[in-house]
Structure 1
Amino acid sequence: MTYYVDRQCQIEDVNLPDEAELTRWAALAIGDYRDSAELSIRIVDNAESQQLNNDYRGKDKPTNVLSFPFEVPDGIELDLLGDLVICAPIVSSEATEQNKPLMHHWAHMVIHGCLHLLGFDHINDADAEEMEALEIKLLAQLEISNPYDNEDP
């Protein structure tokens, strides 16, 4: 199994996961579905996240993670899964607000984003339940508690 993460960092911050951590989390999320994969994880500030969220989703605000799956043209074999864009200030503020260790929340965002790259979604309740159950299971393998326990119903 080969997983490669290209870490691109638009901001400087000592409290960011390194490429090895990002790769470990991505491999955990992808491992049951693909033997190998390449993806980029770009760590950005609020302004870049807001611009991309507005351009691609029509939402004029920053967000924690955006996923951009790569659609491989027919007849071409590539391991490229896609790109994740993760907004460091949002992840940090969410971790604080939700009283979660920062790296636990980072792991959740990477796993959540990778599942989106694999085609999982949470648009309807059934899909959301499936995706959340998978996230909980994967995070438990990292000894990270259920990230949805502290949320309001």
Structure 2
Amino acid sequence: MQIDILIDDPRWQEPGLEHLAQRAADAVGDHLGLPADTELSILACDDARIAVLNTEFRGKAAPTNVLSWPETDLSAEEEGGTPHFSNAGAERPDEAFIGDIAIAYDTCAREAAEQRISMADHTTHLVVHGILHLLGYDHERDRDATLMEGLETVILGKLGVADPYRDN
């Protein structure tokens, strides 16, 4: 997978976001059999910036850990159904762009500390999570959440990252 990363908050340099994001994206692409030329972009920002984006796009005036903007809605119609990610780019065969992700340093660091996990592992999880959203996976309905979380757990396990959904 090809990633264009804009580092808006220099604190993202320390955990090595570029390496973590590429590793996470490659794991998602390999697991789902996506074409190698699949593209996405990531904005690595702080809580202030993501709060503005969250307000603008979701009507929630608060920071969040990760936001995703899919290029195309690939979600399944039925609850628990597999998204149509294999159709990504089908209408535009010359384009492999699947969408944009924003990730907030402050929230990610706080959550990692609260969960007593490394910043690298939490960042990897959030990138996998964001990419799955770009591919049509969601967690709003119970069966969709079960599907998405199960997939995240398998992909993260292949990267040596513990199941983020297990009870500690």
Residue identity opposite 2:34 in structure 1: R
Q: Does 1:16 align with 2:15?
A: yes
Instruction: State how far apart, in whole Å, the 2-side matches of 1:85 and 1:105 are.
Output: 15
Match 2:160 to one of 143, 146, 152: 143
SS of 2:62's equivalent?
Answer: coil
Tell me which protein shows more strand as a share of its residues: 1
Q: Is this contact kept in 2: 1:6–1:39, CA < 8 A?
A: yes
Q: Is this contact kept in 2: 1:30–1:118, CA < 8 A?
A: no
- Per mean C-alpha deviation after superposition, the further-off stretch among 7-16 and 128-137 is 7-16
Instruction: State how far apart, in whole Å, the 1-side matches of 2:19 and 2:165 are.
Output: 26
Q: What's the counterpart of residue 56 of structure 1?
A: 57
Q: What's the counterpart of residue 7 of structure 1?
A: 5
Q: What's the counterpart of residue 119 of structure 1?
A: 136
SS of 2:38's equivalent?
Answer: strand
Instruction: State how far apart, in whole Å, the 2-side matches of 1:53 and 1:70 are.
Output: 17
Instruction: State how far apart, in whole Å, the 1-side matches of 2:167 and 2:2 are.
Output: 32
Q: Percent sequence identity over matched residues? A: 35
Structure 1 runs not aligned, ≥5 long = none
Give runs of ≥4 in structure 1 deviating > 6 Å.
none
Q: Deviations over 1:71-115 (max 9, x none)?
A: 369455201111110001100000000111110000000000000
Q: Deviations over 1:119-151 (max 9, x none)?
A: 000010000011000001001001111111247
- Give the TM-score of the pair, scaled to structure 2: 0.83
Residue identity opposite 1:12 in structure 2: P
Structure 2 runs not aligned, ≥5 long = 73-88
Q: How many residues align?
A: 149
Alpha-carbon distance change, 75 to 109 in structure 1, aligned in 2, over 3 angstroms = closer
Q: Is this contact kept in 1: 2:20–2:123, CA < 8 A?
A: no
- Give the TM-score of the pair, scaled to structure 1: 0.90
Q: Higher relative contact order at CA 8 Å, sep ≥6: structure 1 or structure 2?
A: 2
Q: Is this contact kept in 2: 1:30–1:115, CA < 8 A?
A: no
